[in-house]
């Protein structure tokens, strides 16, 4: 039995090896180079003043109110958009899963926002909320200048994110729904469980791995949000996110040392999120396997 298990494991690693190697070749060098750069004072405008400064860049970022402000913004955006997407994604997934007519058309229609280039979608939203030419104010009978105040700007950014990525969430959840065996549902019906009970007691537990994957992917994406904010506000009105901060430091100010340090911190943030998720819900992943 044990022999069989270790054979299985070896085969698993062998099957993964090409992908792992490719990933390492493509990503390891840039990541290590960024780590290396982040230990230097290196500003492209003063190329001759390059100097090793150890962890000073990190100290300067972590003691700066700008960083914590941006991190707070990013977390607000991440948590609010992902949780709302999960709430909206479930009904969408159920609809897509249960449609009897034009199944393909329904799925395609749902996926249109996700298929759009983010920059284009963000521009469309920007125009929609423009106080002079946009239709939103006319529709609501308001005279709000949406993108000039922090909370209304945040609202527009979150709405754009939700509109754009809920379909992705729904797609992953729908894949999870197909994992639920039909006879289990039937059995629950026979036992007298109503629709809500069936959903909470049977469908959701069996779907846990799919939900975890969907939420994890979206959280990681949302944590690195860049293009939507870049188009809508450029980070003004206190809507700057960590990725925008990295862009401004690295690309706009050409401060390679500091910019790399910001990227490394974002990378660490992504790692922490992944570890938390996998540790927090890890059990459910293996449970999913056992249930089969």
Partner 1 sequence: MISIRLTLALCITISIILYGCSSQRREAIPTLNWYVAGEPSGAFSMAARRCSEDSGQAYKIEQVPLPADADQQREQLVRRLAAGDNSIDIIGMDVIWTAEFAQAGWILPWTGETAEQAKAGRLDAPLQSAIYQNQLWAAPFTTNIQLLWYRTDRVTAAPATWDEMILVAESLGKTGTIQAQGERYEGLTAFFISLLASNGGSVLDVSGKHISLAQQPTLQTLSTMARFANSRAAVRALATTREDQARLAFESGHSSFMVNYPFVWPSAQRNAPEIVKHMGWARWPAAIEGKPSRFVIGGLNLGVSAYTPYPQLAFHAAACLTAARHQRMAAELGGLLPTVAALYDEPEIRATYPFADVLRSSLNDAVQRPQTPLYNDISLAISRTLHPMRDIEPQKDFIRLRRAIERALNSEGLL
Under the criterion CB under 8 A, does residue 206 sit at the interface with partner 1? no
Under the criterion CB under 8 A, does residue 64 sit at the interface with partner 1? yes
Under the criterion CB under 8 A, does residue 237 sit at the interface with partner 1? yes
Site string for partner 1, 142-181 (x = CB under 8 A): ---x-xx---------------------------------
Out of 40, 67, 129, 154, name the contact with partner 1 by CB under 8 A.
Answer: 67
Nearer to partner 1, 130 or 221 (CB): 130
Under the criterion CB under 8 A, does residue 195 sit at the interface with partner 1? no
Under the criterion CB under 8 A, does residue 123 sit at the interface with partner 1? yes
Among 242, 246, 244, which residue's Cα sits nearest to residue 269? 242
Under the criterion CB under 8 A, does residue 262 sit at the interface with partner 1? yes
CB of residue 122 to partner 1, shortest distance in Å = 10
Out of 170, 232, 244, 245, name the contact with partner 1 by CB under 8 A.
Answer: 245
CB of residue 123 to partner 1, shortest distance in Å = 5
Under the criterion CB under 8 A, does residue 258 sit at the interface with partner 1? yes
SS (H, E, C) the chain: CHHHHHHHHHHHHHHHHHHHHHHHHHHHHHHHHHHHHCCEECECCCHHHCEECCCHHHHHHHCCHHHHHHHHHHHHHHHHHHHHHHHHHHHHHHHHHHCCCCHHHHHHHHHHHHHCCHHHHHHHHHHHCCCCCCCHHHHHCCCCCHHHCHHHHHHHHHHHHHHHHHHHHHHHHHHHHCCCCHHHHHHHHHCCCCHHHHHHHHHHHHHHHHHHHHHHHHHHHHHCCCHHHHHHCCCCCCCCCHHHHHHHHHHHCCEHHHHHHHHHHHHHHHHHHHHHHHHHHHHHHHHHHHHC
Under the criterion CB under 8 A, does residue 255 sit at the interface with partner 1? yes
CB of residue 66 to partner 1, shortest distance in Å = 4
Under the criterion CB under 8 A, does residue 115 sit at the interface with partner 1? no
Under the criterion CB under 8 A, does residue 45 sit at the interface with partner 1? yes
Out of 185, 213, 254, 291, name the contact with partner 1 by CB under 8 A.
Answer: 254
Sequence-distant (6+) residues with CB within 8 A of 91 are: none
- What is the binding site for partner 1 (CB under 8 A)? 41, 43-47, 60-61, 64, 66-67, 119-120, 123, 127, 131-132, 145, 147-148, 234, 236-237, 245, 248-249, 251-255, 258, 262
């Amino acid at each position: 039995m044990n022999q069989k298990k270790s054979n299985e494991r070896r085969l698993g690693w062998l099957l993964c090896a090409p992908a792992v190697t490719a990933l390492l070749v493509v990503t390891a060098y840039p990541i290590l180079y960024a780590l290396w750069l982040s230990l230097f004072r290196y500003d492209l405008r003063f190329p001759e003043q390059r100097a090793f400064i150890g962890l000073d860049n990190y100290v300067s970022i972590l003691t700066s109110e700008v960083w914590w402000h941006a991190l707070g913004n990013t977390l607000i955006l991440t948590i609010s958009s992902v949780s709302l997407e999960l709430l909206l994604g479930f009904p969408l997934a159920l609809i897509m899963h249960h449609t009897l007519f034009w199944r393909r058309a329904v799925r395609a229609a749902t996926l249109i926002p996700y298929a759009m280039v983010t920059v284009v979608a963000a521009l469309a939203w920007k125009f929609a909320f423009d106080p002079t030419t946009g239709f939103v104010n006319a529709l609501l009978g308001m005279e709000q200048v949406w993108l000039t105040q922090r909370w209304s700007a945040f609202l527009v950014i979150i709405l754009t994110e939700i509109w754009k990525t809920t379909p992705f969430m729904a797609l992953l959840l729908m894949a999870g729904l197909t994992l639920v065996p039909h006879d289990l549902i039937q059995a629950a019906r026979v036992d007298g469980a109503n629709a809500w009970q069936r959903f909470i007691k049977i469908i959701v537990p069996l779907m846990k791995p799919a939900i975890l994957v969907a939420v994890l992917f979206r959280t990681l994406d949302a944590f690195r949000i860049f293009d939507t904010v870049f188009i809508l506000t450029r980070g003004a009105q206190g809507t700057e996110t960590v990725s925008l901060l990295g862009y401004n430091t690295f690309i706009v100010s050409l401060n390679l040392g500091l910019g790399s340090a910001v990227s490394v911190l974002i990378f660490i943030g992504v790692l922490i999120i992944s570890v938390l998720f996998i540790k927090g819900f890890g059990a459910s992943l293996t449970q999913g396997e056992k249930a089969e």
